[in-house]
Amino acid sequence: GIGVALSVVCIPFVSPALRRICLPYVPATTQQVQNVLQGLNGRSGTLIDLGSGDGRL
């Protein structure tokens, strides 16, 4: 029960540390940001970025 739930919550945070190959940090390019903003053009409301912090959009 609770052990399974705790494992499901913790695995996404622990698994990157267990990788054999370390992946480099690559931030989003200006063109990628412009493409996202262009896709949102004309929409109203609040934009919330729920990114994982790795620079991808």
| Per-residue pLDDT tens digits for 7-51 | 888 887 777 777 777 777 777 889 988 998 898 888 888 877 777
- Half-sphere exposure (Cβ direction) of 17: Cα atoms closer than 13 Å: 5
Per 3-state DSSP, what percentage of the chain is helix, strand, and coil (rounded to 5)? 45, 0, 55
Length of the chain: 57
- Tokens linked to 39: 């896709």
Say whether pLDDT at 55 is over 70.
no
Q: Counting Cβ atoms within 10 Å, is residue 4 exposed (0-12), middle (13-18) or buried (19+)? A: exposed
Say whether pLDDT at 53 is over 70.
no
Q: What pLDDT, on a 0 to 100 scale, did the predictor assign at position 57?
A: 62
